Chain A
Amino acid sequence: MKYKKFGPGLLAALEDFQAEGAPALVRHARTLGLASVTGTQKPPAAIVFVHCDARAKLDDLADAGIRINQTRGRVRTAILPLEQLDELSDHTKVKRILASRLLRPRMDVARGKVKLPKFCNDTGLTGQDVLIGVIDTGIDARHPGFAGRILRIWDQTLSGPGVGEAAYGLELTGNQMTASRDRNGHGTYVAGIAAGADPTFSGVASKAELVIVKTTFQDAHIADAIRYVFRLADELERPAIVNLSLGGHADAHDGTDSLSQIIDDESGPGRIVCCAAGNEGDDNIHARVPLGAPATRTLRFSIPANAVRTAELNGWYPGSGKLEISVTTPDGFATPFQPVITTGNFLKKYNLPGARVLVETPDKDLDNGDHHFVVQIRNASAGQAAPAGNWQLRVRNASALPGALDVWTLDDQDAPQVVFSDSHVADSMKIGSPGAAASAVTVGAFVTKNAWTDIDGTPRSVGMAVGRLASFSSEGPLRSGRQKPDVAAPGAMIVSCLSADSSPQRANIVDPRHVAEAGTSMAAPFISGVIALLLERNQHLDPAAVKAALKTASKHPNKPAGTFDAKWGFGLLNAAKLK
């Protein structure tokens, strides 16, 4: 026997079997693919993955009664009596033999952690007759987890006459829906958490119906999508939740931006919006500078090399005073201090060695009465990366100015590249639009699992502590002091529906229909599904009532019930306490 070819679990099972016979396999059968362990006259068999070269010929094993299911491929499967593992390992073309692992419905780890099965069993709620709108990257309409429950897809990215709310995109129903593809996979995954249903996996509200918008991610188009979903809900006379597992930091972080205002206007009884808090908990994207007596204050930020085309700063401070803004390059060249410009064009452009810097200092914002400035940094040569290095933002007030300046970094990459690099970094107020909307239910991510086995049988793990709030989960409160996020829910590592049109990393793929991911993107649809259950029971619940119900049923592990925490909100949901 070639011991080196066996995975550890399988070798242990084999040795126990050789020493004690079939009864010794019972404890292994909880986790390994073993067949005919008890109550049968057939010899115990192992279900295994056989690793070999893709074109290896293993046909001769059939002479020994060992049948490999595939004739090609690097990883093949077989079922064979345990006694024959010896012979299999001796084959020169076999590199490795690993036990198939017994998979459990992964969502049950998350569901169990928040006592959702008990709530569902006690109430019988399934999300029946409730609409969940998922505004995201689309959906795999052929995935069996959603069979028969996708009512419409509005694909904003396809050419077409649009819908009542907006004259762009294509609305699809029935068999036409497969014309819209979720190539990213995020939307399918999110919909699966909220409302997926299949034998090995269950979303939270497995009988809710879905309205899908594949969006352009322009927040104006997301606003159109919210109005679209709620209009359909009106026509169908159903309660509805819209899930938004997305966000940004170009706003005032106080819920006064246009999209947040529209969410507040459109929400009401039976019309709920649920948002992800954001994933910038580990990123230094926010700096806070206390103001006060006249002074010049400096913030430092860094732009990495060859990483971004444009770097931006989004600054907000009280409207009761005025700041002048200057930017200094890594080489020490500076723009002049630019004051608030109340008349005419407030955009000024500066050409510095190697850099083009644009500074905008308009008058007070009409929605919140605060001052706002924008700095944009580009390479002096169009199309090149923004100049790398340590930059400075200097702000100067000539008269006393109470309060604080808050600045957020922005760039053109998916994960933040431009970050603050001095003591003004503040791990707070990192929830932007639309999570900042007052009426939205905003959700942080809790870690229920940090390991899984991928489709190749390889154990995988991530560096997150189970039982804690994910470090990446963005912190509140809002710049206005409003308490956000509202609640925490499982957001890592969560297994959900895999879009057949997407190409995630193989290490994240659990089986041909499911993938494991992390993010507040995952936590939000969990709560969206829970809200669907609540709306099934009472379709007139408004945002305040939904928030009150979630708050009552949530708790921070180390704080009294009802205590707000800037990362946890009012804590991790315990569905058994939902009333």
Chain B
Amino acid sequence: MDLNLDYSRIDGPLALACDETQPDERSLTVFVHTFAPPDQQQAKKLTAAGVAVPAAGRRIFTATLSPSQVAALSQEPWVKHVKLSQRLKLAAE
């Protein structure tokens, strides 16, 4: 199924994750970067997509989305890019 992803707005790991996840499976933890703090309309769109917009003035948000939702956000002109969250490890020997 063609997701209508704007590949210029997602990173490599997210492209791979979208490719390997069912379109409506909401399991991709991501960072959503906007060019500017979202206005009211944009904040509503983010919230509707399941992106937490807890405080004003921010340009980076986190969310767990489906590939379809990632694709929709990638088409918004005010979204700079969407990047996949990475799993970090403990720094103990």
* A-to-B contact residues, CB < 8 Å: 136-137, 164-168, 184, 186, 217-224, 227, 231, 245-248, 250-251, 257-259, 261-262, 265, 276-279, 342-347, 358, 360, 362-363, 365-367, 372-374, 376, 414, 433-434, 472, 492, 517-522, 524
Contacts and interface: CB of A to CB of B under 8 A. Distances in A.
Given A165-B54, A262-B60, A472-B93, A219 B88 contact: yes
Given A186-B90, A217-B88, A360-B12, 15 more contacts: A219-B88, A220-B30, A224-B52, A224-B62, A258-B85, A259-B31, A261-B60, A262-B60, A265-B59, A265-B60, A344-B7, A362-B11, A373-B12, A518-B92, A521-B92
Contacts of B54: 164-165, 227, 231
8 smallest beta-carbon distances between A and B, as pairs: A360-B12, A220-B85, A276-B91, A258-B31, A519-B92, A220-B62, A374-B12, A521-B91
B91 A279 contact: yes
A167 B50 CA distance: 9
Contacts of B41: none
A434 B83 CA distance: 16
A31 B87 CA distance: 45
Interface of B: 5, 7-8, 11-13, 15-16, 19, 29-31, 33, 52, 54-55, 58-60, 62-64, 80-81, 83, 85-93
30 contacts: A217-B89, A218-B29, A218-B88, A219-B87, A220-B29, A220-B30, A220-B62, A222-B88, A223-B31, A223-B60, A223-B62, A224-B62, A231-B54, A247-B91, A248-B88, A250-B86, A251-B86, A257-B83, A258-B85, A265-B58, A276-B91, A277-B91, A279-B93, A342-B8, A360-B15, A363-B8, A414-B90, A434-B88, A519-B90, A521-B90
A137 B16 contact: no
B60 A166 contact: no
Q: Interface on chain B toward A: helix, strand, loop, or mixed SS?
A: mixed
- Most chain-A Cβ atoms within 10 A of its Cβ — which of B19, B52, B55, B91? B91
Given A164-B54, A247-B88, A258-B31, A347 B62 contact: no
Nearest to B13: A374
Given A248-B86, A358-B16, A362-B12, A524 B93 contact: no
B85 A219 contact: yes
